[in-house]
Amino acid sequence: MKEYFESEMRLLQDAAQEFAEAYPEQAAMLNLKAVKDRDPYVERLLEGMAFLTAQVRERIDDGVPELSENLLDQLNPALCRPFPSYTLVRLDPEQQISETVPLRKGTSVKALNVGPENVTCEYTTTAALSVQPIHIDDVSVVERIGGGTQIKLHIRKRSAFDWPDLDFTELPIHLHCDRALAYALYEAAIHPQARLKMTLDNQPLPGQVQLEPAMLEPEECFLPTGGRGHVAFSLLHDYFNAREKYLFLKVRGFNSQQWAGDGRLLTLTLETPVTMPAGHHVRRETFQLNTVPAINLFKTQTEPVRLTGRVPDYPLKVDYSYVDCANVYSVLEVNGRNPETGESRQFRPLHELSYRRDDDPTYATHTRKSGSGRRRTFISVSDVKPKVGEVLSVDVLASNESYPRQFLELGGIDQVQSEVSKDVKVTNIARPSKMVSPPAIQDFQWQLISLMSLQLSSLSDVDHFRTLLSLFDWSEQVENENRINAIESIHADVKHRIRRGVLVQGLQITLEVKEAGFSSRSDLYLFGTVLHQFFTTFANITEYVETKLISLPTYKEWVWKPTRGNRPML
């Protein structure tokens, strides 16, 4: 808004100056360069006019936001809202706990009395987690002669229990270290030639265990989609704006019911052809158990809204207890109450796909930027009865915007939802990220809307593919821009395979990418893993996707195994 205002102010001053010089008798007061006759009231008038015309220009450049925002909100609501702050939290079981503690997705964790305003900063977990009463006791790393690495994780019990008493079928692990080492460990763990073995008190355990990438499932995306939009876009959105989410691994194949109950030392041994980067040390703290991402979104209410019927819409403000350190992210539910009779009624979303009668009240929301550039949410409702003075109660999802990044430190989160508070302790092991807003690109929302007709088979133009990726990069980081620009070519070829006696159609997607755009080959490998999952999630359920990534200039190849698509047919 500031740039628009300054531009309009310059235009008005230049035009006024030119007109005053051409007609000095009629418009001498418009000559703001003449010190003698300079009129401060004319300056204020021009400033007010510049402010109004700047707002009009901004709306025009945004491509009629009332239309594009409402349409995008129906197609993919996360893409028309800011990306809130996120962090990583570890939940340690209390010493006396001897069983698995299930933690559902959306569990609330808080930090109290944060910053100069003593505000509560609340986060919610983005994935389900089974908190196990175990910890990593030691880690050993051996570099093999001729290349390759052996990594051993020694896991011990936190308390006295029998292994069969646990609900222990998988184990998520977060790679908590610098990016270069984390990328290398990620590739080492899920490399096709990597092998994982497990022993209990040095005795081999039955069954096959394997390491897999975690946090790639549709239900593990950071932002709520409301059942709308394609989750494949959420994968890209999270990658460019919250890459730590993908530095999770998952050990699968455990069957603790068959283990000796009194076993003490569980050892996982990884043999991988990947070599660790020089100068980096793998320590016990590098591998974090019982860890899950959390996003700064929480349920609360706005201040009551009194319907007067005198204005077309009403501003929504989060409860005053947040001292203007929280803002509305999305509206969940709206109820109206008649203060005279106590009668209440529910307002339904105007665009909701559900049956309703003609007289059912509805609501719609839209956003505007305030003079300071802050996002503000407004609500408009149908069937307003001015004489009644109906009061709206609005339940919303809210965020603390940039406040946690400024004032919330490591270990600041120490409160967990009451239903599990007696069993676990919580702490944030990463500093909260900053909130990022959608880029100020002309027609940005219309470009996102155009993606809804995207077909994988049409991804053969590298410029179009780069543009697609850049629409989800809101980070303003040069590193992400380099990653996108490093893509040299992309080809999508239709292939056919015989699977279980049935002819199946699929796509082989081949990318050529320059290594120079990435910090390491392992960084490039993570990029390819996320892209393969994106292609798979976007492909129709009747076809498979095989992704091949060729690194330039070495021509090293990675091939991800053919995977069936997830997109249902309409």
Q: State pLDDT tens for residues 219-276.
A: 899 999 877 777 889 999 999 999 999 999 999 988 888 888 888 899 999 999 999 9
How far apart, in whole angstroms, are the C-alpha atoms of residue 54 and residue 7? 8
How far apart, in whole angstroms, are the C-alpha atoms of residue 89 and residue 411? 9
What are residue 40's DSSP bridge partners?
none
How far apart, in whole angstroms, are the C-alpha atoms of residue 568 and residue 538? 9
Q: What are phi and psi of 422, to 5 degrees?
A: -80, -15
SS3 labels along 87-102: EEEEEEECCCCCCCEE
HSE value, Cβ hemisphere, 13 Å, CA-based, for 472: 24
Other beta carbons within 10 angstroms of residue 448's beta carbon come to: 22
Distances (CA, A) of 543 to 218, 234, 457, 476, 566: 18, 21, 11, 35, 9
What tokens were used for 29? 């007061």
Please report the pLDDT score of residue 329 as a whole number.
Answer: 95
Is the CB of residue 229 less than 8 Å from the CB of residue 524?
A: no
Tell me the three state secondary structure of residue 444.
helix
Tell me the three state secondary structure of residue 182.
helix
Which residues, including other chains, have CB under 8 Å from residue 302's CB and lie 6 or more apart? 316, 317, 318, 319, 328, 394, 396
Report the interhelical angle of 179-190 vs 521-538 (nearest 10°).
60
The number of angstroms, rounded, from the C-alpha of 261 to the middle of its chain's C-alpha atoms is 40
Which residues, including other chains, have CB under 8 Å from residue 437's CB and lie 6 or more apart? 82, 83, 375, 474
The number of angstroms, rounded, from the C-alpha of 535 to the middle of its chain's C-alpha atoms is 18
CA angle 281/286/290 to nearest 5° reads 170
Q: What are phi and psi of 200, to 5 degrees?
A: -125, 115
How far apart, in whole angstroms, are the C-alpha atoms of residue 85 and residue 295? 6
Other beta carbons within 10 angstroms of residue 549's beta carbon come to: 22
Which residues, including other chains, have CB under 8 Å from residue 26's CB and lie 6 or more apart? none
Is the CB of residue 190 less than 8 Å from the CB of residue 271?
A: no
Other beta carbons within 10 angstroms of residue 110's beta carbon come to: 18
Distances (CA, A) of 505 to 395, 495, 543, 547, 564: 47, 6, 5, 15, 10
CA angle 296/64/72 to nearest 5° reads 45
What tokens were used for 209? 């265990």
Say which DSSP state 433 is in.
P
Mean pLDDT in consecutive groups of 10 residues from the start of the chain, 570 residues: 75 74 68 60 78 74 66 84 96 91 94 93 95 94 88 92 89 95 96 93 88 90 82 93 96 87 91 90 94 96 89 88 88 90 87 71 86 84 77 95 95 90 93 92 82 76 92 94 96 83 86 96 96 90 91 94 74
Q: Which amino acid is at 254?
A: F
C-alpha closest to that of 101 among 411, 412, 425: 425
Q: Which amino acid is at 383?
A: D
HSE value, Cβ hemisphere, 13 Å, CA-based, for 536: 18
Average pLDDT, the chain: 87
| pLDDT tens track for 186-204 | 999 999 999 999 999 989 9
DSSP strand pairing (344-349 vs 362-369): parallel
What tokens were used for 275? 């070599």
Say which DSSP state 475 is in.
S
What are residue 327's DSSP bridge partners?
399
Distances (CA, A) of 164 to 2, 135, 256: 64, 17, 5
Element (H, E) at 214: none
Share above pLDDT 90 across residues of the chain, in percent, rounded to a whole number = 53
How far apart, in whole angstroms, are the C-alpha atoms of residue 484 and residue 518? 10
Other beta carbons within 10 angstroms of residue 561's beta carbon come to: 10
Other beta carbons within 10 angstroms of residue 87's beta carbon come to: 26
How far apart, in whole angstroms, are the C-alpha atoms of residue 50 and residue 41? 14
How far apart, in whole angstroms, are the C-alpha atoms of residue 396 and residue 299? 6
Provide the residue ranges of all domains of the chain, joining segments of one domain with +.
Answer: 2-61, 85-130+291-296+401-437, 133-209+253-289, 299-399, 444-564
Say which DSSP state 436 is in.
B
Residue with tokens 């092998």: 195
Is the CB of residue 495 less than 8 Å from the CB of residue 562?
A: no
How far apart, in whole angstroms, are the C-alpha atoms of residue 408 and residue 118? 11
C-alpha closest to that of 401 among 492, 301, 296, 508: 296
How far apart, in whole angstroms, are the C-alpha atoms of residue 169 and residue 512? 38
